[in-house]
């Protein structure tokens, strides 16, 4: 249900010239991060001078599907498929014993088992994510990276010249200064939640220690150093290196560490050189397995303003969102080097090494 060409549609509706070259990227949860990586590479090889790169997602508008309705239309009932699950959360290569596609959460349970990460450890991490995000909101840490947007009640931009009395143009304020998920934090109820994916008494992943479905968008403006020096632009940061990684689909939650090590090698840096980390919180187990178990990162340096568990996870936007947050966190904390990484369905991950500029 994304339409013919999402990136092109966004560019034209934003008022960019018709000559603007556009490309849509689909790497599931890593789409936004990969878009930024591709934009940086395009500038490096001088294919582009300026690139808008990012991601967008409206999970609340994903439709349900009627498979093969046109080929088998006849009297009777039809099965309905949830597009949100089919396109975003179910692996398309591995099937369960019952013949159905497997949810990413079931794979995450395998990662938790491999690294010996308990329910208590994951719940504790999730609480820290909420606490960090709430503290960041209270201190105004997100203000520099958020843009409030006026929309009418049906979610569309107001038509130009609409009369005040037109009921379809009645405006409401969408408060994007604070993510809605934060108001749902109930730490006292976390331990009582049932496991979401394993009901055999061994499950550790719940709705509270996994990322939440959300709508959102994030974008960065990229340009080459020479052009930036000639213009009045004041760069916030630069991309030092990028990398992708692929593992078997059921090991998607372990892929970020592989991508991170490759990106650090390309930047000629070590884990100990990095000041701040943004590792996408698809599940608490992903941040813990990669950040703590694999890379030995101190929790004080990891996702310092919370993550997808506390802020929400709009699939197409999250990869770009963590890059934006990382850049602003580095500058606010007067730190220089950071890494942003996100896993994605199918077994992949994308990582970027960022240097803040002052």
Active site residues: 29, 313, 343
Six token digits for residue 300: 């004080």
Q: CA triplet 87, 352, 218: central angle to 5 degrees? A: 55
Rounded-to-integer distance, Cα 202 and Cα 31, Å: 32
Six token digits for residue 221: 């403006």
What is the dihedral angle through the alpha carbons of 65, 68, 70, 72, rounded to the nearest 10 degrees?
-130
Find out whether 303 and 318 touch, Cβ atoms under 8 Å.
no
Find out whether 194 and 207 touch, Cβ atoms under 8 Å.
no
- Phi, psi (5° rounding) for residue 339? -130, 135
Find out whether 303 and 279 touch, Cβ atoms under 8 Å.
yes
**CA dist list (Å): 158 to 9, 133, 143, 171, 215:** 17, 32, 25, 8, 19
Q: CA triplet 219, 64, 217: central angle to 5 degrees? A: 10
3-state class (DSSP) for residue 343: strand
- Burial class (CB within 10 angstroms; exposed 0-12, middle 13-18, buried 19+) of 224: middle
Rounded-to-integer distance, Cα 21 and Cα 53, Å: 12
Q: CA triplet 293, 260, 182: central angle to 5 degrees? A: 70
**Count of other CB atoms within 10 angstroms of residue 7:** 19
């Amino acid at each position: 249900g994304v339409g013919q060409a999402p990136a092109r549609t966004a560019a034209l509706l934003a008022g960019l010239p018709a000559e603007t070259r556009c490309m849509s990227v689909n790497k599931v949860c890593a789409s936004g991060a990969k878009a930024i990586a591709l934009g940086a590479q395009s500038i490096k090889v001088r294919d582009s001078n300026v690139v808008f790169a990012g991601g967008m997602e409206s999970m609340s508008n994903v439709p349900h599907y009627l498979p093969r309705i046109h080929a088998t239309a006849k009297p009777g009932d039809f099965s309905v498929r949830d597009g949100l699950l089919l396109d975003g959360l179910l692996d398309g290569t591995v099937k369960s014993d019952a013949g159905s596609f497997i949810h990413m959460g079931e794979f995450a349970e395998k990662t938790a088992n491999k690294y010996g990460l308990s329910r208590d450890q994951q719940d504790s991490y999730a609480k820290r994510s909420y606490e960090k995000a709430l503290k960041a909101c209270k201190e105004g840490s997100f203000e520099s990276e958020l843009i409030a947007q006026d929309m009418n009640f049906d979610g569309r931009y107001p038509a130009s010249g609409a009369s005040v009395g037109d009921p379809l143009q009645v405006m409401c304020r969408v408060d994007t200064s604070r993510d809605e998920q934060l108001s749902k934090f109930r730490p006292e109820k976390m331990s009582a939640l049932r496991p979401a994916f394993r009901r055999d008494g061994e499950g550790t992943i719940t709705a509270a220690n996994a990322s939440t479905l959300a709508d959102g968008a994030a974008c960065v403006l990229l340009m080459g150093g020479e052009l930036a020096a000639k213009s009045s632009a004041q760069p916030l940061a630069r991309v030092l290196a990028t990398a992708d990684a692929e593992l078997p689909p059921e090991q998607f939650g372990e892929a970020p560490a592989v991508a991170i090590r490759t990106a650090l090698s390309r930047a000629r840096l070590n884990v100990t050189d990095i000041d701040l980390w943004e590792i996408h919180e698809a599940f608490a187990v992903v941040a813990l397995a990669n950040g703590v178990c694999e890379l030995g990162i101190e929790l004080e340096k990891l996702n310092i303003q919370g993550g997808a568990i506390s802020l929400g996870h709009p699939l197409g936007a999250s990869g770009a969102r963590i890059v934006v947050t990382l850049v602003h966190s580095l500058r606010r904390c007067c730190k220089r080097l950071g890494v942003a990484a996100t896993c994605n369905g199918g077994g992949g991950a994308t990582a970027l090494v960022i240097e803040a500029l002052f």
